[in-house]
Structure 1
Amino acid sequence: MTTGRFFAVFKHGTAVCFLAVLSLMVGCQPNSWYHHSLVFDQQGWDMNDTLRFSDTLTSSTPLTLNGKLTLRHTNAYPYQNLWLYITTHTDDSLMVSDSINWTLAKPDGNWLGTGWGSLYTISYDLPTLTFSPSDSVRWFEIELVHGLRDSLLTGLSDIGLRLYTKE
């Protein structure tokens, strides 16, 4: 195994371990109803790929949930921001589409959020997700598409969605 390949495997394994530990920590939070992360392909995020978070929650789930996206990226990410097109759908609503310009770095190039080594983490609060009281289960789907012109967006590690109630 070459040194470069070893570090690529090590880096990917580290990301998977971090996500597993993060999932355990978030899963133990009493106000968290859903948490899932998607790892980007090592080559990058293709402009034609749609990321989907979808699940069915029990009827004991509150009628409104707050949402938070958490992105991890590396120093290799080439921009100060990330344009996302977000489509949200629940059982009782029409699809709602929105776009966000997620600022990842200050104008001087310093990354926002928290970081360790060459990996940085930043979160973005989403609009409230509302369910109908008549639903016996609460179904949702949130789709993400990047809005940058790059056919392959590099420097991204993973992105997670957490749905929760405020304490």
Structure 2
Amino acid sequence: MNKFCRTIMAAGMFLAMASCEPLTMDTYEKNLEIPGHEWAYTYKPVFEVTVQPQDTAYLYNIYVNVRHRDSYPYSNIWLLVNTQFPGNKPVPQRVELPLADMSGKWLGSGLDDIYEHKIPIQQNAILNKPGLYRFTFEQNMRQNPLPAIMNVGLRIEKAGLRKNEKAIP
């Protein structure tokens, strides 16, 4: 076998091994459009995040993203966030997401009549089991459907290494 063929084979094997390496989760973000921009009780967006074994050594900050029109009639939104850890039943948590301050000024960034918010719901969360995590959001306001909500999403950012943990390569 000539030197060129050996070089090509070695490069191919290196790429094949590198492509099998699971990637770590530095940031997960997914946003879903609310059908008709009116969030009904029956629409329950689901976000699925796969945590690899090397990701379990870290802490994570978890956010809910909300995008709405200026015509949204409330200063907040209440959500039921159901979190299902690998192999467990979903755990519900009622969360208030503030969208405006006491004077009625929107807290998020705005462009024209559309506002976007990245609202923390958990800081330094521990995702200590590898596998599939499922987050389901339900709007939990008195009004149904909830008008002028355009998108909702989940963002998970790596916050740092847990104490007494070593990063797994």
TM-score above 0.5, yes or no: yes
State which structure, 1 or 2, has the greater radius of gyration over its C-alpha atoms: 2
Distance 1:78 1:70 in 2: 18
Aligned to 1:119: 114
Pairwise CA RMSD: 2.1
Contact 1:91 1:131 in 2 (8 A): no
Q: TM-score, normalised by structure 2?
A: 0.70
Pairwise CA distance, 1:108: 2.1
Secondary structure class of the residue paired with 2:159: coil
**Residue 105 in structure 1 maps to residue 100 in structure 2:** yes
Aligned to 2:36: 42
User: Which of 134, 148, 155 matches 1:155?
Assistant: 148
**Residue 144 in structure 1 maps to residue 134 in structure 2:** no
Specify every segment of 5 or more residues in structure 1 that has no aligned partner in the other structure, as ranges: 1-29
Specify every segment of 5 or more residues in structure 2 that has no aligned partner in the other structure, as ranges: 1-23, 161-169
Q: How many residues align?
A: 134
Distance 2:85 2:154 in 1: 15
User: Which of 121, 127, 130 matches 2:127?
Assistant: 130
Alignment of 1:3-152 (within 5 A): 32-63=26-57, 64-91=59-86, 93-127=88-122, 128-132=125-129, 135=130, 138-152=131-145
Distance 1:57 1:166 in 2: 15
Distance 1:94 1:103 in 2: 28
Pairwise CA distance, 1:62: 3.2
Pairwise CA distance, 1:144: 0.8
Pairwise CA distance, 1:159: 1.6
Pairwise CA distance, 1:72: 1.0
